[in-house]
Amino acid sequence: MAKITYIQTDGTAVEVEATDGTLMTAAVANQVAGIEGECGGVCSCATCHLHVDPDWAERVGPANDVEEMMLELDDDYSETSRLGCQVPITPELDGLSVRVAESC
Amino acid sequence: MLKSTDHCIIVGAGHAAAQLCASLRQHGWAGRLTFIGDEPVLPYHRPPLSKTYFKPQDDSGQSPELQWIRPEAFYQDHAIERRLGQPVESIDRDAKTVRLGDETLVYDALVLATGSIHRRPPIEGIDHPRVFSLRTAQDADAIRDSLPEAKHAAVIGAGFIGLEVAASLRTLGLGVTVFEMADRVLARVTGEATSGYYEALHRGHGVDLRTSASVSAIRENNGRLSLMTGDNMACEADFVIVGAGAQPNQMLAFDAGLDCDNGILVDEHNRTSDGSVFAIGDCCNQYHPMYGTRLRIESIQNATDQGKALAAVLAGAPTPKIGLPWFWSDQYDVKLQIAGLSTGYDRCIARGEPEPGATFSLWYLKAGRLIAVDAMNDPRSYVIASKLIPKGAEPDPELIADPTQDLKPLLTSPSVAS
């Protein structure tokens, strides 16, 4: 079980408890605004762009190569940008906070 | 624009219908909303059916389950009524009703999101119970059920579905023979270099790929299926999958007297020839301003975008511009991403060598303008192209053709300013 906080683009927070799936599937299941996951989670559409709280960046880890290429030219790219579908939820992520990208 | 007392009925329960429901509620419209699907399950992600759905999950060995587009709680929380496993039989536009079984439902706005149906070529034996199509979860389950006993599968048609299924089955260890009528794979949607890339990829994985090969008959012999090309026995298989393209599911609209021509004809607001009836997704045909022509697009992006756009129309919100078509296909370890539509191109530029597994992209130009890019294991080219195409950019062909050159400067070069 991990508790994840998503900050939506209007500044409101959605707190989610999830045991499996990814940061994208947990967001869609809990109706986090702006996270679409149109491709179903195969790193093809970039509609689940999140900024990881910098304090958590090391624990969440960097984007993989394909993911990085999908993200790097995004208008709202940051050093902690990730695609939610590429981040599996694990107990270690309990307490994580992520911000939904403006471009979503 | 809908009133809060209106009843909006959606016929269909695929990607377009699910998106329309979500977007209508996001816009704050709180009227009565019902969707009706002929499949017995909630809207689910369809693309995995030909890709990951056959493959047992890593740890448990269990088959993957359907992936819901939205969880059941979403529909409950937003008071979205579901009628599943109930095909709509007819529409009465004068009375503004739809009929399903003994029941008649009254609508104020009707949305047709009926998708597409597979083509079944007129081949002797195509109705054999082990000749499958692949459109629904039920189709995929039927294929999955025949896997444990099977050693060899035949695939008719080398479009995206056919090739994705071939890759999935080959990865599971089955022998696979693919028959394609045209002289190359993906002939309808890509240029020759992309076709060549995929032909080499599949042959490299041991697929027996036969182009310019028409199956004339499928006959059962001693429990196996023989596929004939002309008078020759071309291969034996335990089952056959037909991926011979799709056509719009427009019968309901046609029978109701709505204008149809390769899809239900809609205007820029997805309105049909009846002002109270709309159509979205694979089933409709709409003018695309970026390509200057009417198009019927079969894709997730189109279904989702039209769902969003129609929600804005119905909720009285500003409508988003019609966006760039995009597609993807995962086969073996190659990710194909396509930005735009290449139809009508007059020049094709290869970036890299089309060797299986390599980073390669094919850029399509029309009168100097970039109209589409196929990117294989090359998300960077895909992302750059999807920014250039909507701007009507005319990128320098020499720069594109040189894979050692960074393409990012194209995004700020004067040719983009047009």
**Per-residue pLDDT tens over the stretch B88-110:** 999 999 999 999 989 999 999 99
Residue B238 has pLDDT above 90, yes or no: yes
d(CA A7, CA B175): 49
Residue B2 has pLDDT above 90, yes or no: yes
Write the single-letter amino acid at B89.
E
Q: What is the pLDDT of residues B130-172, one digit of tens each?
A: 999 999 999 999 999 999 999 999 999 999 999 999 999 999 9
Residue A2, classed as helix, strand or coil, is: strand
Q: Under the phi-then-psi rule, with left for phi > 0, alpha for psi from -120 to 50, and beta for the rest, what region is B29?
A: beta
In terms of pLDDT, which residue wins out, B63 or B202?
B202
Supply the pLDDT for residue B64.
Answer: 81
Calculate what percentage of chain B has a pLDDT beyond 90: 93
Query: B304 vs A29: CB contact, 8 Å cut-off?
Result: no
Mean pLDDT computed over B381-406: 96
Rounded to the nearest integer, the mean pLDDT of chain A is: 94
Q: Side-chain half-sphere of B131: how many Cα atoms within 13 Å?
A: 23
Chain B positions touching A66 (Cβ under 8 A) are 335, 379
Residue B283 has pLDDT above 80, yes or no: yes
d(CA B417, CA B391): 8
Q: Any idea which residue has 């005319």 for tokens? A: B394
d(CA A83, CA A47): 8
Mean pLDDT computed over B228-242: 95
**How many Cβ atoms from other residues are within 10 Å of residue A38's Cβ?**
21
Q: How confident is the model at residue A104 (pLDDT cuts 50, 70, 90)?
A: low
Closest partner CB to B328 (pick from A44, A69, A73) = A44
Chain A positions touching B48 (Cβ under 8 A) are 40
Chain A nearest CA to B383, separation (Å): 6
Chain B positions touching A28 (Cβ under 8 A) are 70-71
Chain B positions touching A70 (Cβ under 8 A) are 379, 383
Q: How confident is the model at residue B418 (pLDDT cuts 50, 70, 90)?
A: very low
Q: What is the CA radius of gyration of chain B?
A: 23
Q: Establish if B63 touches chain A: CB-CB under 8 angstroms.
A: no
The phi and psi torsions of B301 (rounded to 5 degrees) equal: -55, -45
Rounded to the nearest integer, the mean pLDDT of chain B is: 95
Q: Which of A36-45, A53-62, B53-62, B322-331 has the lowest mean pLDDT?
A: B53-62
Chain B nearest CA to A57, separation (Å): 23
Q: How confident is the model at residue B178 (pLDDT cuts 50, 70, 90)?
A: very high
Question: B399 Cβ partners below 8 Å, 6+ apart?
Answer: B405, B407, B410
Mean pLDDT computed over B320-325: 93
Q: How confident is the model at residue B415 (pLDDT cuts 50, 70, 90)?
A: low
Give the single-character DSSP code of A84.
Answer: G
Query: B335 vs A45: CB contact, 8 Å cut-off?
Result: no
Q: Establish if B27 touches chain A: CB-CB under 8 angstroms.
A: no
d(CA B180, CA B184): 7
Work out how many CB contacts closer than 8 A connect A with B.
Answer: 48
Substitution target from B23, B305, B337 for chain A, most A beta carbons within 10 A: B337
In our burial notation (b when 16+ CB lie closer than 10 A, e otherwise), range B356-376 reads: beebbbbbbbeeebbbbbbbb
Query: A33 vs B26: CB contact, 8 Å cut-off?
Result: yes
Supply the pLDDT for residue B62.
Answer: 73
In terms of pLDDT, which residue wins out, B63 or B110?
B110
Supply the pLDDT for residue B417.
Answer: 42
- Does the predicted interface ipTM exceed a cut of 0.85? yes
